[in-house]
Amino acid sequence: MVYQSVLRKKRQLIEKGSFNCSDSFYFSDTIGEGSGGKVYLAEHINTGQQVAIKTESGNKERLHHNLNKEIDILRLIKHENVVTLLGVFEFSEEKHLVMDYMDGGDLLDDLYKKKRPHSEPRAREIVAGILSAINFCHTRVGVVHRDLKPENILLDKRGGVKITDFGLSTRLLETSSYLTTFCGTPSYMAPEVLRHEPYGKAVDIWGVGIILHIILGGYHPFFEPDDAKNNILIMKGQYKLYNKYWSHISPDAKYLIRGMLNICSSERPTSCEALKSAWLLATERSY
């Protein structure tokens, strides 16, 4: 009976397919590159399911540490707006993360293809998805993403939204609500990070604010070519909502952006407060 039970379980595993073995996949094109490595499109041999597989590349010791941390964090997060970790395997002394594949590409590519900003209803859908995931990360598992940007927001062709690339993410310890590691993508770093001050969950709200600005206005709020000068603009919170691009945007959307891009982190809305903002709770209306 025990032997038959073991055989039955093995048969079920073969039928469903394992996501923890390199021999289970046909690798295809490179579809992206995030913190820690390249991302490939692959197909599961037994099931035909398309998946995204992230591999290590670069400084092995540092990236191996980051990848292990990303694995631990993704195993904690089960949310419809966060990529799902399906499996992990090692091949050629490199770790590979198997994740669900989003067939709409990332948000930045989406904006380039459309060649115009998103409408407010679509922007509302995208930001609601991002904030829902961030709220879960912040309140349920104590995770801070630390690298929110359009490239790390994935879409599917049905309009779904998922956050990816948790390579720079970390968990806040119960004994401390602040972090000190200097990390992130320069033009998306919050002022407190650039000032080398202790920081917390509010850095993710800053990132969402920049994303919202980009998808409604069509440009980055801080776009000075010189990095040092751009950092000064960020730390001072100096940006403009040019009338040419923002005259048709609702006051509630602008109010939310200004709140998220407040240089004082304690005055930014929390993820929960942002989800309850007038703009996100609005239905279709005329302004």
Q: What are the sequence ranges of the domains in the chain?
A: 19-100, 107-281
Residue 287 pLDDT = 35
Per-residue pLDDT at 114: 86
pLDDT value of position 127: 98
Please, are residues 166 and 35 in contact by the beta-carbon 8 Å criterion?
Answer: no
Which of 147, 165, 226, 227 is flagged as catalytic?
147
Residue 59 per-residue DSSP state: S
Distances (CA, A) of 57 to 67, 90, 95, 150, 273: 10, 13, 10, 22, 38
> Which are the contacts of 266, defined by CB distance < 8 A and separation ≥ 6?
202
- The long-range contacts involving 67-72, CB below 8 angstroms and separated by at least 24 positions, are 67/36, 67/37, 67/95, 67/97, 67/167, 68/95, 69/167, 69/169, 69/170, 70/36, 70/97, 70/166, 70/167, 70/169, 71/95, 71/97
Contact 133, 275 (CB under 8 A): no
Report angle CA 242, 116, 204 to the nearest 5 degrees.
70
CATH topology of domain 19-100: Phosphorylase Kinase; domain 1 (3.30.200)
How much is the pLDDT for 62?
Answer: 58
pTM over 0.95: no
Residue 260 phi/psi, 5-degree rounding, is -70, -30
Q: What is the pLDDT of residue 218?
A: 95
Question: What CATH architecture applies to the domain 107-281?
Answer: Orthogonal Bundle (1.10)
> Mean pLDDT per 10-residue run, the chain (287 residues)?
45 53 82 76 90 75 73 95 93 85 93 90 97 97 97 94 94 80 96 97 98 97 94 97 96 98 98 97 58
Task: Output the pLDDT for position 36.
Answer: 62
Contact by Cβ (8 Å): 170, 143: yes
Query: What local confidence, expressed as pLDDT, does residue 161 receive?
Result: 97
Whether residue 147 lies in the annotated active site: yes
